[in-house]
Amino acid sequence: MICENRVWDEIEIGETAELRRLCTADDFYVFATVSGNHNPMHLADEDGDGDGVKEAIAPAMWIGSLVSALLGNIMPGAGTLYRAQNFRFHARARAGEEVRARVKVTGKGPDGEITLDTCVERISDGAKLCTGEAVVEAPKTKMRFEAHELPGLIVRRHVHFERLVELAQPLPPIPMAVVAPEEPNSLGGALLAAEHTIITPILIGDRRKIELAASEIGRSLEGIELLDEPDHAAASRAGVALVRAGRAGALMKGHLHTDELLRAVLAKDTGLRTARRLTHVFVMDVPGVAHPLLVTDAAINIAPDLKTKVDIVQNAIDLAISLGMAEPKVGVLSAVETVNPDIPSSVDAALLSKMCERGQITGGIVDGPLAMDNAVSIAAARTKGIDSPVAGHAEVLVVPNLDAGNMLAKQLTYLAGAEGAGLVMGARAPIVLTSRADGDMARMASCAIAALHWARVEGLDAMKAAAQ
């Protein structure tokens, strides 16, 4: 965009200018960080006055800063310097509302001085948010230039996990067998999800250790079912038995090795096997990405063959649909975006794409091979001439093997500020696999994901039964 400023001689009394801006919650977080004003009245995740409502009110000086932006960018424009400004605030704006800043030249003084009436109003009803007067020093040099492309800012909030928790809370809580929650993190995550009515936990493990962990985090176990079973292998079998008996709708890993839990899940006669392979799906909340990003398989299948990858893709699609993606876009990753017989992952990706076209994989749109850049970046896809509904828009990323998936998930976590929740799919019930590094939100989001998937599957089963 070409910008042109106005020097003192060009400006006439009575001239006006305006700009529009949509207020967003992220704007208020950026303002809080830069200004140091952490008043919770302005932060979307907080209830600043204790009335049970999260306010997200625009900070008054953020509203005032829109006048500064108008003066510095448009009227008079580049080279303008403030001499004085006063404001009187009349009403409030909130995140999601559009506002308009206006200025009108009311006087011209010596030494390049310009006086302007200033105003910011809400567009929906015209309500004045603030009025005032600015005195500025107009630019001395005429300039015409392209608008600066400033470095982008990403606010590290985890809005997708918050939305998933909100979606899960109105549902009936899912009965969840929590195996060996014998230390504060694993127990605390289960109890937090129970407090949010997402799950009804059944704790299975060493009673003494579980009670000690509860005491350590200051939580009560009153009203929560607890089955005393100190042996982890036996506790895992007990959790699986609860699912088989219909008393639990999901499993959650506590403070035990993953293979101990999965050994009970995979037991031939007493486990939770189905015709599908067990696969793991990370649900990543990546700051700056407009939707949850699913990464699979990064935890169970080490070097999957094509047949296993079919289940990996189908399981991920099924979970994505449960999370509200009507027709998930699946990008099958490789090092290249063209089929190369010397790169087996590119061949598998092309075959998976074709299998989806032929109805062997259902519910989503599958395309591959795609390199990571053109799977998630529209610009990269366009640069390479890739015309695909998935390229640049992928919601599910299917990795070639566990090494690649593990690296990708950890890069998103430690370099991009993402949080990861996760679920094992392909069993008779969803299985929540937690990590020692998981925070409370990640643990609660994993429970919410399990609850959403369980509710959809239960609903589908009920519809099938009614149809029969």
What does the pLDDT look like over 416-452, one tens digit per residue?
888 899 899 999 999 998 877 777 788 899 999 999 9
Q: 269: Cβ–Cβ under 8 A, 6 or more apart, which residues? A: none
pLDDT tops 60 at residue 466? no
CATH of the domain at 380: 3.40.718.10
User: What is the SS3 assignment for 278?
Assistant: coil
Band (pLDDT 50/70/90 cuts) for residue 410 is very high
Residue 290 lies in a domain: yes
Percent of the chain residues past pLDDT 70, beyond the cut: 95
Q: Closest Cα to residue 391, out of 361, 368, 364?
A: 368
Query: How confident is the model over 374-388, as a mean pLDDT?
Result: 89
Residues 187 and 134 in one domain: no
pLDDT tops 60 at residue 67? yes
Q: Which residue has the higher pLDDT, 297 or 49?
A: 297
pLDDT at position 156 is 65
Residue 150 lies in a domain: no
Q: Check if the beta carbon of residue 432 is closer than 8 Å to that of residue 447.
A: yes
CA dist 345 and 337 (Å) reads 11
Question: Structural domain of residue 35, as residue ranges?
Answer: 12-45+54-141
Q: What tokens were used for 446?
A: 């994993």
Residue 277 lies in a domain: yes
Residue 195 lies in a domain: yes
Q: Which pairing describes strands 225-228 and 250-253: parallel, antiparallel, or unpaired?
A: unpaired
Residues 271 and 174 in one domain: yes
Residues 136 and 164 in one domain: no
Residue 352 lies in a domain: yes
Residues 208 and 335 in one domain: yes
User: What is the SS3 assignment for 456?
Assistant: helix
Residue that finishes a domain, picked among 109, 141, 173: 141
CATH of the domain at 16: 3.10.129.10
Residues 165 and 64 in one domain: no
Record the pTM: 0.76
Residue 147 lies in a domain: no
pLDDT-wise least confident of 59-63, 149-153, 343-347, 464-468: 464-468
Query: How confident is the model over 74-90, as a mean pLDDT?
Result: 95
Residues 108 and 185 in one domain: no
Band (pLDDT 50/70/90 cuts) for residue 211 is very high
CA geometry: angle at 422 spanning 216 and 301, to 5°?
120
Residues 136 and 204 in one domain: no
pLDDT at position 117 is 97
Residue that finishes a domain, picked among 80, 108, 141: 141
